[in-house]
Amino acid sequence: MQHSASGRIRRGLALGAAATLALTLTACGGSDEAADGPVTLSIATFNEFGYEGLIEEWNAANPDIQVEQKKVGTWDDAKDNLYTKLAAGSGLSDIEAIEGDAMPAILAESDAFVDLTDPSLDGRWLDFKAAAATNSDGQMIGYGTDAGPEGICYRSDLFEKAGLPTAREDVAALMGSWDDYFATGREFVAAVPGSAWYDSSGGTAQAMLNQVANPFETDDGTIDVENAGLAEVWDAVTGNVADGLSTTLPQWSEDWVASFQNDGFATMACPGWMLGVVEGNAEGVAGWDFADAFPGGGGNWGGSFLTVPQQSDHPEEAKEFAAWITAPEQQAKAFAAIGAFPSQVDALEAPEVLEVSNAFFNDAPVGEILSHRAAAITVQPFKGPRYSDILQAFQAAILRVDDGSNSPDESWKTFLSDVSQLS
């Protein structure tokens, strides 16, 4: 997730990639024994995890283990700090939050992290979430925080201006497939000059990639970007630029943030964490709603993990706290606080989740909608250690088309060249 200069973005994903941790890592874990007095743990997070109230709750109930949060604005900031201090062998927090797309690189360096496997937690997480944090030896290296089932955020007032239906059920009927979604977009931009159909090419590409089983690599980790699934995403997104469907603004940029305030676009792919982003950036703008729909079925965008570096002086206490704050009960509270949808099985049916509505989105039943969207997820992209690097190159290629510096063909050739250097 990126962070706008305005400071209003509250949750999101870094589209930039995590480099593989080809580092010589020094494990320097300390003693598990607490010194006289309370143990103080640090947890490093980025953007908004909804942990402020939960940490206060823990600290009040656990005087012998006190927790302090270190928060930075973006995953890119957190990533740079993480890699630098992993290489140095010291300086990391007791608990480090990791953005989901970076977990393959983290798993490749599992020796630098504590094995968090705990039989009592088996079955806590959705299968795809647990698998993403488990290495080839069966060790769980990260505890899942949120997941990112996606619906569609839309401006009902702009839909009305275009002569399109505005009720959630009717809007959902317009978006059964990506072809349907883009066709409606062409109708919209013809009727409402000056407004794009969706917020960014990169964001829409990411949403489509989330439904491709092997966008960048085969199941054995071999890089393969010349495949039909990726070509379909590329052709659709770059082709829509000429038709005016995209704002062509880089997601998370200042201009992108400003577009929320000036009728810049009508729809966007919205995982649960994006609801807070929209509400923050569109403060004072009426007309936003949230549809129980996603083109092509379901998709998961984002979600993070908590890890315990071997550098921690208090790994057992850190593991205990990480297990507590990722429990279904706590994740339901984080969802209510900032819209971070739980990745825990028991939380999906919890009244505290299902009964959540959002006044900003016309009182949309966001808990119920996101639970439906989570159930619709049937595909998880394969993510090897190079996934984030290739994604970064792919997004850069899209931006070259958006800003007019390259034609789609030219930019694709550059992308292939960039990827070849990663092999």
> In Å, what is the CA distance from 124 to each residue of 115, 352, 422?
17, 17, 36
Give pLDDT tens digits for 405-415: 999 999 999 99
Closest CA to 345 of 334, 366, 329: 329
Nearest-angstrom CA–CA distance, 292 and 294: 7
* Cβ-based neighbours of 376, under 8 Å, separated by 6 or more: 149, 294, 297, 298
Q: Which residues in 34-188 belong to E strands, given as ranges?
A: 39-46, 65-72, 95-99, 143-144, 150-155
Mean of the pLDDT values across residues 268-294?
94
- Residue 31: band (very low, low, confident or very high) from pLDDT cuts 50, 70, 90: very low
Nearest-angstrom CA–CA distance, 100 and 314: 24
Of 26 and 281, the one with more pLDDT: 281
- Residue 18: band (very low, low, confident or very high) from pLDDT cuts 50, 70, 90: very low
* Cβ-based neighbours of 236, under 8 Å, separated by 6 or more: 178, 182, 208
Map out the domains of the chain with their CATH numbers.
39-147+302-354 (3.40.190.10), 150-297+380-420 (3.40.190.10)
Nearest-angstrom CA–CA distance, 128 and 125: 8
Residue 28 has pLDDT above 90, yes or no: no
Nearest-angstrom CA–CA distance, 138 and 307: 15
Handedness of CA 326, 328, 332, 333 (dihedral sign): negative
Residue 171 has pLDDT above 80, yes or no: yes
Nearest-angstrom CA–CA distance, 319 and 120: 13
- Predicted pLDDT at 110: 97
- Predicted pLDDT at 375: 87
> In Å, what is the CA distance from 21 to each residue of 82, 107, 132, 305, 352?
10, 10, 17, 17, 39
Token readout for 347 is: 């939380």
Percentage of residues in the chain with pLDDT exceeding 90? 81
Nearest-angstrom CA–CA distance, 186 and 250: 21
How many beta carbons lie within 10 A of that of residue 242, not counting itself? Answer: 10
- Residue 53: band (very low, low, confident or very high) from pLDDT cuts 50, 70, 90: very high
CB 41 within 8 A of CB 332: no
Give pLDDT tens digits for 220-244: 989 999 999 999 999 999 999 999 9
- Predicted pLDDT at 76: 84
Mean of the pLDDT values across residues 49-74?
96
Q: What is the mean pLDDT of the chain?
A: 90
- Predicted pLDDT at 48: 85
Closest CA to 151 of 304, 389, 397, 368: 368
Give pLDDT tens digits for 295-337: 999 999 989 999 999 999 999 999 999 999 999 999 999 998 8
- The alpha carbons of the chain give a radius of gyration, in whole angstroms, of 21
Mean of the pLDDT values across residues 185-190?
98
β-strand pairing of 265-271 with 196-198: parallel
- Predicted pLDDT at 369: 96
Give pLDDT tens digits for 240-269: 999 999 999 999 999 999 999 999 999 999
CB 238 within 8 A of CB 201: yes
